[in-house]
Each structure stands twice: as C-alpha cells, then as structure tokens.
Chain A
Amino acid sequence: MTYSMFDVVFYGAGAFSVVTTTLAITRTNPVYALLNFVMSILGIALVIFVLGAPFAASLEVIVYAGAVVVLFLFVVMMLNLAHLKTDFGVKRGRSVRLAVPGVLVISIIIEIGIAFSGRFGKETTYHIIGPSAVGRQLLVADIIPIELGSMLLLAALLGAFHLARLSPERGRQ
C-alpha cells in the first residue's frame, strides 16, 4: 500500500487537529484554548481541502477562523480573563466524575463505530467538488433552506442586539 501526498497531508493534518483540539479543551487559559482551537480549525480546513471540498475549506478558514473565533477572542479579551485561570471543573471524587464522561464518550464512539462499520461500502467516488457545483446546489435546490438560514441569522442578530442592549444592572453598578 502506497501513500500519496494527500494521504500524508490528511493524516498529518488530522493528527494535528486532534492534538490541538485536545489542548484546546484542556487549557486553563481561554486565549490559549482559542488559539489551539484556531490551529485545529486550520488543520480541519486542510483535511477538508484534501477531501475534495476547497470551497468548504476556504469557508472554514474565512468564517470559522476569521470571524467566529476572532469574535470569541474579542469577547474573551473584553472580559479581560487573561489571569482568570479556571480549574478543570472537577474537585471532589475526581476519578468518579471523570469516569462518567469517559464511559459516555467511549460508548458513543463504539456505538458509532459499530453503526458505521460494514455500511456504506468502502469505495469512494473521489472528485473535487468546486464552488460552482456547491453554489448551484445551494442556490437552486436549497433556496428555501437558504432563506430559513438567513432568518436564523436575522433572529440571532436581533437577539444579540436586544440582549446586549437590555441592561437592568447598569443602573445599579
């Protein structure tokens, strides 16, 4: 079995994103966690690119890394949590409390593994799906979901705006 360059890139980027994600969820400093998350996103973007979805990969970088996480970082900086080292959330009965999510997660992985194994075949019809194909699917076949998505965003916008304005505490502080 030979490995092509794509395989190498995939496994490298995949391992990279797994490692950075692990780091992201275990950091105590939110900024480091976010940086690791950005790394993970870049790794995933690479994976997506390798999987033949350059458009999605670009969006992953532009939207996720470039807007979503920047916003996140912005809020963290605004909260000025630089020195707020947060603990892991587990104090008493550490082993027991870690065991619960551990068991949960492992059983889910096993379940999904069983569910996936032996299904959907092994062969892959690999070809690159460029932006125009996606665009056609998106704007012709899925025009109603697009509208629903835009309404979702509008609702989120209004909700965020309202929640940010509504400030009963401001008078007291």
Chain B
Amino acid sequence: MINLSWQAPASLAIILFALGLIGLITRRNLIFVILSIEVMLNAVALLFIVAGMRWGHPDGQVMFIFILNLAGGELALGLVLLLRLRARITTLDGDSANILRES
C-alpha cells in the first residue's frame, strides 16, 4: 500500500505557495495577481489536506471547503473590481492603479 510520508505533499504545497508568492510580487498585470492569489490559496488548501491526512481527521477537508468558499468569494469580488478598474484606467497594470494617492 502507500508509504508516502506527509513531508512530501507538504513540501509540494510549500513550493506551490512560494510560486504563487513569486507571481504575486513580480507580476504587474492584475489578472496574474489574482491568479497568484488563487495559486496561494490552493497551496494552503493542499496543506490542510495534508494535515488532515497526517492525523487522519476530516477537519483538513472541512478547512479545504472553507478555503474554496473563500476563494470563490474573493474571486468574484476581485474580478468585478478588475472589470471596474479596466473601465476606469483602461489598463490592467496594477502599478498604475495608484490614483488614490494624494500627490
């Protein structure tokens, strides 16, 4: 049967999280920003699954469901904001969306 220890999938989750973080910090396009956030959420969700597997408890999957919930809500709002921003500044460059600044 399986002799997979929990460290390997945990490492996978951390790698995915790190990739998402890199994307979040380096990418300017807001689509990629949201995408990176989704990647990070996904990685965290995976880590919860791993924890659930490690202790053999359904709580890991429960948390996974909550994270899906959160990701859905976050994405819906994020995409609407993206559309509004696109209508306002005609670009999706996150760095140029700083017109809130006073001077």
Contact = CB atoms under 8 A, between A and B. Distances in A.
A88 to B, nearest CB: 7
Interface in A93-129: 97-98, 100-102, 104-105, 108-109, 112-113, 116, 120, 122-127, 129
Contact of B46 (A48, A86, A105, A123): A48
Nearest to B81: A163
A169 B88 contact: yes
A58 to B, nearest CB: 11
A160 B69 contact: no
B8 A14 contact: yes
B39 to A, nearest CB: 6
Interface residues of B, number: 74
Interface string A58-73: 0110011001110110
B76 A4 contact: no
A82 interface: no
Given A14-B12, A64-B68, A155-B73, A124 B29 contact: no
Given A18-B16, A53-B61, A138-B62, A10 B4 contact: yes
Of the listed residues B21, B31, B82, the one surrounded by the most CB atoms of chain A closer than 10 A to its CB is B31
B30 to A, nearest CB: 9
A113 to B, nearest CB: 7
Interface residues of A, number: 91
B73 A25 contact: no
A33 B35 contact: yes
A124 B19 contact: no
Nearest to B56: A125
Contact of B18 (A109, A137, A163, A166): A109
A129 B54 CA distance: 12
B53 to A, nearest CB: 5
6 contacts: A53-B60, A56-B61, A64-B42, A102-B22, A108-B21, A145-B62
Closest 8 CB pairs of A and B: A156-B73, A25-B23, A89-B28, A101-B25, A86-B29, A137-B58, A125-B56, A163-B80
Interface of A: 1-2, 4, 6-7, 10-11, 14, 17-18, 21-22, 24-26, 30, 33-34, 37, 40-41, 44, 47-48, 50-53, 55-56, 59-60, 63-64, 67-69, 71-72, 75-76, 78-79, 81, 84, 86-90, 97-98, 100-102, 104-105, 108-109, 112-113, 116, 120, 122-127, 129, 133-134, 136-138, 142, 145, 149, 152-153, 155-157, 159-160, 163-164, 166-167, 169, 173
